[in-house]
Chain A
Amino acid sequence: MSTDGYSSRSAALWRSMGFAALLLVVLLAVNLVLNPARFHPAAWGALIGLAAPLIGAALASAPVILGGRGGIDISVGPTMGFVNAIVIQALFLKAGMSSPFVLIPAALLTGAAIGAINGFLTTIVRIQPIVATLGTYLVLTGVTLTILPAPIGPAPAWLKSMSGPLSILPLAAIFLAWWGIRRLPYYDQLMAIGSDDRAAYTAGVPVTEVRFIAYVITGTFAGVAGLMLTALIGSADPNIGATYTLIAVAAVALGGVSLAGGRGGLLGAAIGAIDIFLLQSVLTSFNVSTYVLQIAYGAILVAAVILTAVQERAAKRERA
């Protein structure tokens, strides 16, 4: 690749997530000043553990959004909750299986299967993604509550130990997997479909298959995120998973991934998620009520997407 191509690529990268990155630096600095003990480098491991499920949910949400034409998976959160319930309630407590070599594949397969169902509904039955995944959202939350009416614990020791610094491992695994995908022709096909599916179809890209696979990837990543959630809470809780969905979509948008598809990447999604986590952290350290937290949260989300949009418009005008 020529240096010229590289610089234009990094410029595009900066345009799409420059604001999120800037916000990250600012929020990190604010956190360091406000709360030096909590943000001491020695405590970063624990912090990553706290942020991991949200980052995982954002990473999981991204692939289908990149695929465009309204692609979205609002069942990511419930999938995490379902994986949480299956791993702890069904496999660990009922069936007595605690080996990571059973639980990890089980979580990944569960996620992938849900992703495949979503993919089947959206690409082959061709139901609008938000409706199809709303359906699976309701089914999964209902089933989760049925097999697990109340929170229950504990989680296997190895899984609980993944809640601290070690939670970097599943995140790294997702990034590694995505890094691999980016080297495949599949990635280019996904992005091409995301920016213009008709043109991609005319150019011979198998639109249905590519989108289907994106849902499977999203589901699998959501399975990993479900494991991270399980590690963090060290138990099974039927009510937590679903709360991640909308925040994850917000994180993805904040990280410069276009909800129209074809623009952005997983790094942006992760930065967006970290932004939201750091924001929660700043607000908490002000010791404000959860109500103020929520106001600030919503306001900054809206302000952030507005600023990103304004910046993009300015950049576009400059180029024109």
Chain B
Amino acid sequence: MMAKLKTFLASTNGRVFGAFVIAALLHLIGTLAIPGYSSPFAIRAMLVIAALLAVASIGQTLVVILGGIDLSIPFVIGFANVVAAQLYGDGWNFVLVCLLVSVMAALIGAFNGYVSRKLDIHPLIVTLGAGMVVQGCVLLWTKGFPSGSAPSAVSAFVSIGGSAGPLPVPWLVPSVVVLAALIILMMARSPYGRRLYALGSNPGAAPLALIDPVRMWVITFALSAFFAAVAGVLLLGFTGSAYGDVGQPYLFQTIAAVVVGGAALVGGRGSYLGTIAGVLVLTEINTLLIGLGFQPAMVQAALGLIIILLVSLYGRERHVSATI
């Protein structure tokens, strides 16, 4: 029985299931320990925060399955956040603004993917460097003081107090649920998705299976930057005004969500459903600790401990002797 449970938890599905169970347990603890933890408003707030993190983590999930890592996500979030606000403030059509921001973000991502794969440079360095350039450009353009705001439609879309028809949550939440379903479907059932897993699983075998690694890296990093930009625009609606560093917390949170959700950073393993579970775990931990009166610094420390604890429960790698 124990052995069976152990093999289940070691499987990808088991990891995802485990992460969901942990999120539920955390919620139960919160409800018992903190009055109002499960109040409609608190749950709405958690759902909105989780939905934003879920969007920002789409790219990291894809990139990690590919065997890479994307440190440019927080910078692209900030870029989209500031540029969208600024241009909209200058009187641009908001649809046009979103289109422009998406294309520019995708180009940044495509650059990251192309350089990393084509020249075989660790994406850690490339995405960090590119991210710094992007952030610098934004700061230079706005002279450090971004202005402008989001159209009220975007604010209503993400507002914690908003409602989606009969649902007591803003449209963001059901939209992210649909988006998540599409992403999961794409990863499981599209040729791109199968190639993504295959390439991450064994880069040496991929070209012989007619997978073009450079093309895959370009597409995947472009997607990552695109969804980071989406998160940046949504955050603009959430906070109300532009802020270049708005993405910074997402640097480690996206990686943590992906890893808690059972993906292996060496590639080939993981799922977006797992990432969603990871996002819920992180959101619950954050809310719980703040609710228990921890200072932000201690929340961060506890978050670190919990990541280590969770990953040591079900995210362990094989010993080198088991890889021969």
Contacts and interface: CB of A to CB of B under 8 A. Distances in A.
Interface of A: 69-70, 72, 121, 125-128, 130-132, 134-146, 149, 197-198, 201-202, 207-208, 246, 249-250, 253, 259-260, 289-299, 301-302, 305-306, 309-310, 313
A132 B308 contact: yes
Name the 6 nearest CB pairs between A and B, nearest first: A142-B301, A138-B304, A298-B132, A295-B136, A145-B297, A294-B136
A129 to B, nearest CB: 9
B297 A298 contact: no
A138 B307 contact: yes
Contact of A291 (B139, B252, B315): B139
Contacts of A127: 308, 311-312, 315-317
A93 to B, nearest CB: 19
Contacts of A293: 136
B303 interface: yes
A136 B304 contact: yes
Interface in B62-88: 69, 71
A305 B121 contact: yes
A273 B256 CA distance: 29
A143 B301 contact: yes
B90 interface: no
B265 interface: yes
Contacts of A146: 295, 297-298, 301
B157 to A, nearest CB: 31
A121 B125 contact: no
B73 to A, nearest CB: 14
B318 interface: yes
Nearest to B305: A139
B156 to A, nearest CB: 33
A279 to B, nearest CB: 12
A301 B132 contact: yes
Contacts of A136: 304, 308
A125 B312 CA distance: 6
A115 B5 CA distance: 33
A159 to B, nearest CB: 25
A178 B150 CA distance: 54
Given A126-B317, A126-B319, A259-B124, 19 more contacts: A126-B316, A131-B315, A136-B308, A138-B307, A140-B301, A141-B297, A141-B300, A142-B298, A142-B299, A201-B320, A207-B320, A250-B125, A292-B140, A293-B136, A295-B136, A295-B140, A301-B125, A301-B129, A302-B115
A246 B128 contact: yes
Interface residues of B, number: 54
A249 B137 CA distance: 23
Nearest to B260: A131
B130 A131 contact: no
Contacts of B185: none
A313 B120 CA distance: 10
A295 B129 contact: no
B137 A295 contact: yes
A172 B151 CA distance: 58
Interface of B: 69, 71, 115, 119-122, 124-126, 128-137, 139-140, 143-144, 252, 255-256, 259, 264-266, 295, 297-305, 307-308, 311-312, 315-321, 323-324
A250 B128 contact: yes
8 contacts: A136-B304, A137-B304, A139-B305, A201-B321, A250-B129, A294-B139, A297-B136, A302-B130
Contacts of B299: 142
B114 to A, nearest CB: 11
Contacts of A142: 297-304
A309 B117 CA distance: 11
Nearest to A129: B265
A128 B136 contact: no
B266 A128 contact: yes
A253 B315 contact: no
Given A134-B255, A138-B252, A309 B307 contact: no
Given A207-B320, A302-B115, A309-B121, A130 B265 contact: yes
A291 B298 contact: no
A253 B121 CA distance: 9
- Residue of A130, A131, A144 contacting most chain B CB atoms (<10 Å): A131
Contact of A130 (B121, B135, B255, B297): B255
Contact of A259 (B122, B317, B318): B122
Contacts of A137: 252, 304
B297 A134 contact: no
A140 B298 CA distance: 10
Contacts of A131: 255-256, 259, 265, 307-308, 311, 315
B122 A292 contact: no
Contacts of B136: 291-298
Nearest to A117: B308
Contacts of B129: 250, 298-299, 301-302, 305
B304 A139 contact: yes
A56 to B, nearest CB: 20
Contacts of A201: 320-321, 324
Given A138-B307, A250-B125, A294-B139, A130 B317 contact: no
Contacts of A149: 297
A195 B144 CA distance: 44
Contact of B119 (A197, A207, A310): A310
